[in-house]
Amino acid sequence: MNQAELILFIVKLWGAAGALVAIPFLIFGIDRLDEDARGAYVFRPLLVPGILLIWPLILWRWYILADGKDEWSHRYRPRRHNHQWFAMIMPVAIIVIIVAGLSVRQSWPADILPERLAPPAEVSE
Amino acid sequence: MSDKNNPFFVGYLPVPGPLRRFLLLASVLVVATFLLTGLLIGSTQDEPPASGFRFDYGRQTVTGVIELTPYPLLRVTQGNDLIKPGKTLMLTSGGKAGVDMRAMGLEGQLATVSGIILQRGTIDMMQLRGGRQGLAAAEGDPPEMVTEQLGRWKVAGEICDGKCLNGAMRPGRGLAHKACANLCLLGDVPPVFVSTQPIEGSDFMLITGPDGTRLPDAAYNYIGQFISLEGDLERRGDILVLRMDTTTMELIDG
What CA–CA distance (Å, rounded) separates B5 from B11?
A: 18
If you measure CA to CA, which chain B residue comes closest to A113? B197
Question: Cβ distance B161 to B118 under 8 Å?
Answer: no
Provide the H-helix boundaries in A1-125.
Answer: 3-24, 30-33, 48-66, 77-103
The DSSP result for B16-50, as a single string, is: PHHHHHHHHHHHHHHHHHHHHHHHHHHHTSPPPPS
B2 touches chain A (CB under 8 A): no
| Beta carbons of A109 and B220 less than 8 Å apart | no
Task: Decide the pairing of beta strands B123-128 and B88-92.
Answer: parallel
CA distance A125 to chain B (A): 5
Q: What's chain A's Rg over C-alpha atoms?
A: 25
pTM confidence score: 0.78
Looking at the complex, report in whole angstroms how far the Cα of residue A11 sits from the nearest Cα belonging to chain B: 12
The domains located in chain B, with CATH, are 51-137 (2.40.50), 148-251 (2.40.50)
Give the Cα separation of B71 and B244 in Å (integer): 14
> Is the complex ipTM more than 0.85?
no
Report yes or no: B205 and B236 within 8 Å, Cβ to Cβ. Answer: no
| Percent of chain B's residues with pLDDT above 90 | 70
CB contact under 8 A, A112 and B196: yes
Chain B residues within 8 A of A10 when measuring between CB atoms: none
**pLDDT over threshold 70, residue A125:** no
Spans of all domains in chain A:
3-101
Which of A4, A108, A112 lies closest to B228 in CB terms? A112
Q: Which of residues 134-173 of B touch A (CB under 8 A)?
A: 144-157
Note the pLDDT tens digit of each residue in B89-131: 999 999 999 999 999 999 999 999 999 999 988 788 999 999 8
Residue from the list B220, B226, B254 with its beta carbon closest to the beta carbon of A3? B220
pLDDT tens track for A53-98: 999 999 999 999 888 888 877 776 766 777 888 899 999 999 999 8
A122 falls in which pLDDT band (50, 70, 90)? low
**Average pLDDT of A9-30?**
95
Tell me the shortest Cα–Cα distance from A70 to chain B, in angstroms: 32
More confidently predicted of B112 and B254: B112
